[in-house]
Amino acid sequence: MAHIVTQPCVGCRYTDCVVVCPVECFYEGEKMLYIHPEECIDCEACVAECPVEAIFHEDNVPEEWKNYIEMNAEMASQSKVITEKKKPLAES
């Protein structure tokens, strides 16, 4: 199982979660971050660091955001890995 980045990240793209990830499974999209489900080790380090509470365990993703499970898998494969903190979109 993996953690999933959901709707609250759209347009914000805070990267606090990225720097605590021990396996570098975050990927940077144009409007949000994604977690690669095959790389996530389910450590939960990122959950507490997300200032907009956008990260959920796959089993606990709210019903209205279930589509983000597939979106993370698809978009992480198409995006560049991100390992350093950057200025968020919300502050740009």
pLDDT at 12: 92
Give this prediction's pTM. Answer: 0.95
Q: Among residues 44, 24, 25, 37, which one has the least CA distance to residue 74?
A: 37
Q: Per CATH, which fold does 3-80 belong to?
A: Alpha-Beta Plaits (3.30.70)
Report domain extents, the chain. 3-80
Q: SS in 3 state form for 19-86?
A: HHCCCCCEEECCCCEEECCCCCCCCCHHHHHCCCCCEEEHHHCCHHHCHHHHHHHHHHHHCEECCCCC
Q: Above pLDDT 90, what percent of the chain?
A: 95
Of 54, 51, 55, nearest in space to 91 by CA: 51
